[in-house]
Amino acid sequence: MKALIVIDVQQGLFQAEPAPAFAHDVIERINTLTAAARAQNVPVIFVQHELASGEFLVRGSANWALDHRLVTAETDRYISKTTPDSFLRTDLQSLLQQFDISHLVVCGYATEFCVDTTIRRSAGLGYEITLISDAHTTQSKPHADAAQIIAHHNATLSSIKSCGVRIQALQTAAVDFHA
């Protein structure tokens, strides 16, 4: 069974200046994915990054909240994390086991940090993975613009074979939650 994992699409991160690349389009695609997942009774799990008190992403703060453009539902699940790894010191693994999940569909922010780390950890744990190639994002960096970082990770992550599981990069329109 599949689960959709939406990583760190939070107010403080998406309302930043500059905003993540293609932020509006990425959020629209995530809303398309969450609607499709819910229609197939596929669990939708939102992961939110939090920092210690007095810092930017304090749990319960406006910055920590999911971006206001995301469409959520009562059936959605929520995981809070404190590192780029959505599994480290969280309940994500037990939640996935509860639903008998073997395949993760991953999107969100930031491509080269939390998305990358979570995908690599997922592969190491034996999950098949679909990275939604047009529904993850980051900001440009001095060494590479955001589009280059996204393209690099789409190519690199889907080339990892050593974990023994399939990692594929697909665009939103190609995702089939039923299959």
Q: Tens-of-pLDDT digits for all 179 residues of the chain?
A: 999 999 999 999 999 999 999 999 999 999 999 999 999 999 999 999 999 777 789 999 999 999 999 999 999 999 999 999 999 999 999 999 999 999 999 999 999 999 999 999 999 999 999 999 999 999 999 999 999 999 999 999 999 999 999 999 999 999 999 86
Quote the pTM value.
Answer: 0.97
Q: Which of 87, 107, 90 is nearest to 7 (CA)?
A: 107
CATH superfamily of the 2-174 domain:
Isochorismatase-like (3.40.50.850)
d(CA 20, CA 127): 28
Domain boundaries along the sequence of the chain: 2-174
Spatial contact of 45 and 76, defined as CB atoms under 8 Å apart: yes
